[in-house]
Amino acid sequence: MSSQKIGVIGSGLIGRSFTMLFVSAGYKVVVFDIEQSQLEAAKKDIWKQLVALESQGLLRGKLTKEQQFENITTTSDLKECILGSFFIQECVPEILELKRKVWREVDSLIDAQTIMSSSTSALLPSAISEGLKHKNRFIVSHPTNPPFYAPATEVVPARWTDPEVTERTFALLKEVGQVPVLIKKEVDGFVLNRIQYAIMGECYRLIRDGVVSPQDCDLIMSQGLGVRYAFMGPFETAYLNAEGMYSYRDRYADMILGIQQSFGPPERMDGPTLDLIQQDIAKVAGPVEDIGTRRQWRDKRLIALAKLKRDMDKS
């Protein structure tokens, strides 16, 4: 446990999650936002989430929810957030110019030891940090949403990031209960979204070509692939489905290549195929006006799965 200070910039969805993760390990977090109303809403929401996590038995760390909450301070003064923080997590909207502006300001306030970490989902770390005096201290820590129930966090250094920054970011994320994954090269979409969009692209083509309905395509994931993927990735799946990777190659590599070569080129989602997907998925997920109900349904299942995974990993 530590009583060191961490600064969080931006108190929206992701800023709140990071704040909760850091205080769960005993850090003192100072959250900065340009909107006072956001800071007030963030504190209320974080308390609500802490209460819910406690009732689900998913509160992280050794501190009570009250102790965790006491370690959060909010401020409208950037300096108060930055000065004395050894780690800064930026969670402002996904706009390159905005992120560059925020980091330029932070760059002028920090010392050479501070780690500057961005939550960006898709902007490359070199694009954000280019030109900063302390660009060797810059890194991306991209969480999966919701971070408490899906702990994988992509850690993406720029080519000029000090290896020590990557190591310390990894150590911190592990300490707060996340599962950091190193992305060794900067690439558009990092890894999670590249995989997600590859799946989405093929599903879209199969629906467009009349091979499967949108609901049935989702069933293949939720009742098939997704069930395995909750516990292991495609390569361990392959390993176990044969006698290791070489045996898998001998049995399936030619067939896999043939099928992969039949995939069509990417296409922008739109038009009649998108209409079909919207109408069919609305039959299970409900109308958009009532989307909150289905989100609650989803969150209940994500929570139960997070508990199951935690219990399985304990034994």
Site membership for ligand NAI, residue 74 (CB under 6 A): no
Site membership for ligand NAI, residue 91 (CB under 6 A): yes
Site membership for ligand NAI, residue 243 (CB under 6 A): no
Site membership for ligand NAI, residue 40 (CB under 6 A): no
Applying CB under 6 A, which part among 27-35, 68-76, 207-215, 221-229 lies near ligand NAI? Answer: 27-35
Distance CA 272, CA 279 (A): 10
Residue 68 tokens read as: 């965790």
Of positions 7, 26, 61, 143, contacts ligand NAI by CB under 6 A = 143
Q: What part of residues 111-140 is at the interface with ligand NAI (CB under 6 A)?
A: 119-121
Task: Kindly tell me which of 13 and 276 has the beta carbon lying closer to ligand NAI.
Answer: 13
Task: Kindly tell me which of 15 and 61 has the beta carbon lying closer to ligand NAI.
Answer: 15
Of positions 10, 26, 125, 214, contacts ligand NAI by CB under 6 A = 10
Nearest residue to 145 (alpha-carbon basis) of 41, 32, 35, 16: 16
Task: Kindly tell me which of 94 and 275 has the beta carbon lying closer to ligand NAI.
Answer: 94
Of positions 113, 145, 222, 241, contacts ligand NAI by CB under 6 A = 145
| Least distance between ligand NAI and beta carbon 131 (Å) | 18
Applying CB under 6 A, which part among 29-37, 127-135, 184-192, 240-248 lies near ligand NAI? Answer: 29-37
Task: Kindly tell me which of 143 and 157 has the beta carbon lying closer to ligand NAI.
Answer: 143
Site membership for ligand NAI, residue 293 (CB under 6 A): no
Q: Which residue has the tokens 């936002």?
A: 33
Task: Kindly tell me which of 59 and 91 has the beta carbon lying closer to ligand NAI.
Answer: 91
Task: Kindly tell me which of 121 and 215 has the beta carbon lying closer to ligand NAI.
Answer: 121
Task: Kindly tell me which of 57 and 131 has the beta carbon lying closer to ligand NAI.
Answer: 131
Site for ligand NAI, rule CB under 6 A: 9-15, 32-35, 38, 91-94, 102, 119-121, 142-143, 145
